[in-house]
Amino acid sequence: MNQKSKTEQVKPSGQNIGSIPFSGLPEIPHEIIFNLLSNPSSKTPKKIIIDTDTYNEIDDQFALVHLLLAQQSREDIEILCINSAPFHNTARNTDSYEHGMELSYQEIFNVLNTLDTSWKGEILKGSKISIQNNNGSPVVSPASEKIIELALKHDKIYIIALGALTNITSAIFLNPEIRSRIVVCTLGGSAFTLHGFSDFNHAQDVLAAQRLFSSGTPVIHFPGWSVTDHLRTSRWELEANLGSSKIGEFLYKRYLEFVDDFPGRSKPIWDLAPGGWILDPTWYISEIRETPELTEKNTWVDKPANHPIRTIRWMNRDQIFKNFFELINPPQ
């Protein structure tokens, strides 16, 4: 751990951390959170950390390509680093949380090498174990340490969380000071009024998700079910729009490898949502409201007067895909 970052480990309380104001951390004034939750402007530089379980599915690859290409075409986007998020999914032949993280780490390189990008940022390994399975303590990893280092260096960083929240929540509890310098754009769970749906990202480390939402960290919440699941595409749409570049062929191959195809089949590319919001929030309808409590069963309980959160209610699927396809296969 970098001692210069003045990190401190916050011990777990032993009770449902989601019900404790600010997860037991020092309170952050609501006006600071409101300011950090404001919509990004194309006139303002945006520094980004991507935290991704890239190997778990195929949508992370699309999201990485989208933001990396956007950075090449826009002066306001700067990707500082890419972290591999841990996961364990027998459907992807992983044998542990650490194995999933290592596979994601390699898949990030597969994307970058195929894209042939000029980006020279760092790629860091994430947690080898969940907070849930680490006796409730934050997990020190190259990813969590880098989040702390960069957050203390810059005034505002967007962290795009595309997988389990272990790396990010660990960084917050190792150094709570960073909460007023980051905005976590996290994809997972359902809309706050919707119940009965399972969620992979939250389920990978429920305690990490509970602590993030209750910590007072500024969060942009992208619900999976009822919102980002509208980001559907199909083999036929990809064939027509990806073009013949190496990265287009790479993404098309990944899609075919993962999706059991049949007439009418479509697949959500969920992870395009957080990056799309940073690129153009006018493609989205959202609201700022009190942060609800996330239960162990991945349901939401209203918490009146709790700290604010921005949650996405709707998004323009067509504009997001239009932008993605134009970046990967520019019109002639």
Q: Is the per-residue pLDDT at 7 higher than 80?
A: no
Between helix 59-73 and helix 97-115 the angle, nearest 10°, is 40
pLDDT-derived band at 298 (thresholds 50, 70, 90) equals confident
User: How does pLDDT run across 217-238, given as a tens digit for each residue?
Assistant: 999 999 998 899 999 999 999 9
Q: Of the given ranges (53-57, 112-116, 289-293), which has the lowest mean pLDDT?
A: 112-116
Judge whether 316 lies within some domain: yes
Mean pLDDT over 190-212 rounds to 89
Domain span at residue 83 reads 33-259+268-328
More confident residue, 92 or 117: 92
User: How does pLDDT run across 131-189, given as a tens digit for each residue?
Assistant: 999 999 999 999 999 999 999 999 999 999 999 999 999 999 999 999 999 999 999 98
Judge whether 281 lies within some domain: yes
pLDDT for the residue 15? 43
User: How does pLDDT run across 227-278, given as a tens digit for each residue?
Assistant: 999 999 999 999 999 999 999 999 999 999 999 888 899 999 999 999 999 9
- For the sheet with 77-84, list strands across it: 122-124, 77-84, 46-52, 157-161, 182-187, 219-222, 308-315, 284-290
Distance separating alpha carbons of residues 268 and 272, to the nearest angstrom: 9
Mean pLDDT over 286-312 rounds to 95
Judge whether 26 lies within some domain: no
User: How does pLDDT run across 33-46, given as a tens digit for each residue?
Assistant: 999 999 999 999 99
The model's pTM is 0.93
Judge whether 25 lies within some domain: no
pLDDT for the residue 14? 39
pLDDT for the residue 19? 57
CA distance to 55, 215, 272, 317, 318, per residue, from 261 (Å): 20, 42, 21, 21, 22
Judge whether 15 lies within some domain: no
CATH of the domain at 41: 3.90.245.10
Judge whether 190 lies within some domain: yes
* Assigned token pair, 248: 């287009």
Q: Round the average pLDDT of the chain to a whole number and report it.
A: 92
pLDDT-derived band at 197 (thresholds 50, 70, 90) equals confident
Q: What are phi and psi of 194, to 5 degrees?
A: -110, 135
Count of domains for the chain: 1
Judge whether 11 lies within some domain: no
Please name the amino acid found at residue 14. G
Q: Is the per-residue pLDDT at 11 higher than 70?
A: no
Judge whether 129 lies within some domain: yes
